Amino acid sequence: MNDFVSVDWGTTSLRASLCSSGGKTILRSISSDDGALSVHQRFLAQSEKGPDERKAFYLKVLQDLVDQLDLSADQKMPILISGMASSTIGMETISYASLPFGLSGNNAVVKQWEVDGYDYFMVSGLATEEDLMRGEETQLVGAALLTNLDHEEEALFIFPGTHAKHVQVKGGMVAGFKTYMTGEVFCQLFSNSILAQSVTPHHDHEGSSKEAFIKGVKEGSVGNILHQMFKVRTNGMFSRLSKEDNFSYLSGMLIGAELKDLLSLQKNRIILCGSGEMMQAYELALQCLNMDSAMLINIDASLATSVGQYQIWQQFSSRI
């Protein structure tokens, strides 16, 4: 297989990309707001709700997006899917893979089927007794390949997001991972809490907002976050920060609280896998906490997804 379609089906968004070179080249990509949650809600609103109808409903949504990639009639290439598609709100619930989990992707759980000449391969998530992920396991496999991680090397992979993941790897295997609800808590605080009156969301993270973010990171990395958060309220009441700067301060504080666990870790390599503003924010936060920049590597999440999907597909195909 040379070219393939990479599908990243998140909770709130859906992206399909035409890829080549083992996923390392993304030729074109298209996204929509048809995340698994909204599609699931639309499916529940219809009368027929059996498993066959469920899969067909989701596949129609997916095929409509794939059609926009303008593939030629004879380009019925494999479609590799990861993310929330295999969850309880996805097209079909597939059980999680478990530890030990190799960075080669050889023991990922994959479901294959064929519809109208298309071969679909859907990657499920990874779970322990206390934690779980869907989508990041595929990005992990891809990011490990893109960084040429040595088999014996210890490293920490960080996946920023609504539910950020920290994955510790050793000897080519996942040693464990933790989820941090940083993004979701941030959204709830600036949208629905009393702190919403003290902040104004924005995307300009330079100047005074950058200084406020750095201050938040440093304060969030020490002390009790439940106490520290109230400073956002007093910053506004006592006119210490503008609402825009206060927004950056709150963001930094929560990211600092998430990353404080890293202060006690050994000086292992840190691979940051994300994109856009969130990647920049985490990179700045790590610098604020005096993480050695020589040990930090940034990997684009979209590229990690497509490379990881291809690697897992290769491993799966070798077993069938």
Return the DSSP state at 24.
Answer: T
Looking at every residue in the chain, the average pLDDT score rounds to 94
Residue 133, strand partner residues: 126
pLDDT at 265: 75
pLDDT over 80 (residue 72): no
pLDDT over 90 (residue 75): no
Confidence of residue 184 (pLDDT cuts 50, 70, 90): very high
Burial classification of residue 230, based on how many CB atoms lie within 10 Å of its CB (0-12 exposed, 13-18 middle, 19 or more buried): exposed
Tell me which residue has tokens 């309220």: 233
Mean pLDDT of 142-166: 93
Are residues 5 and 317 in contact, defined by beta-carbon separation less than 8 angstroms?
no
What SS3 class is residue 217? Answer: helix
Confidence of residue 225 (pLDDT cuts 50, 70, 90): very high
- How many CB atoms sit inside 10 A of residue 121's CB? 20
pLDDT at 108: 97
The long-range contacts involving 92-95, CB below 8 angstroms and separated by at least 24 positions, are 92/51, 92/54, 92/55, 92/122, 94/122, 94/124, 95/124
Q: What is the pLDDT of residues 245-299, one digit of tens each?
A: 999 999 999 999 999 988 877 668 999 999 999 999 999 999 999 888 888 999 9
pLDDT at 176: 96
Q: What is the pLDDT of residues 232-247, one digit of tens each?
A: 999 999 999 999 999 9
Burial classification of residue 276, based on how many CB atoms lie within 10 Å of its CB (0-12 exposed, 13-18 middle, 19 or more buried): exposed
pLDDT over 70 (residue 178): yes
pLDDT at 49: 81
Are residues 143 and 165 in contact, defined by beta-carbon separation less than 8 angstroms?
no
Domain 4-147+302-317 top-level CATH class? alpha beta
- How many CB atoms sit inside 10 A of residue 210's CB? 15
Burial classification of residue 262, based on how many CB atoms lie within 10 Å of its CB (0-12 exposed, 13-18 middle, 19 or more buried): middle
pLDDT at 1: 59
Q: What is the pLDDT of residues 8-42, one digit of tens each?
A: 999 999 999 999 999 999 999 999 999 999 999 99
Burial classification of residue 76, based on how many CB atoms lie within 10 Å of its CB (0-12 exposed, 13-18 middle, 19 or more buried): middle
Q: Describe the strand order of the beta sheet including 79-83 as a list of residue ranges.
A: 25-32, 14-20, 4-9, 79-83, 118-123, 110-115
pLDDT at 58: 97
pLDDT over 80 (residue 74): no
pTM value is 0.95
Q: Give the Cα separation of 248 and 75 in Å (integer).
A: 46
pLDDT at 142: 98
pLDDT at 277: 92
Alpha helices in the chain (DSSP H): 36-44, 51-67, 136-146, 182-192, 207-220, 225-228, 230-237, 243-259, 276-288, 301-317
Are residues 32 and 13 in contact, defined by beta-carbon separation less than 8 angstroms?
yes
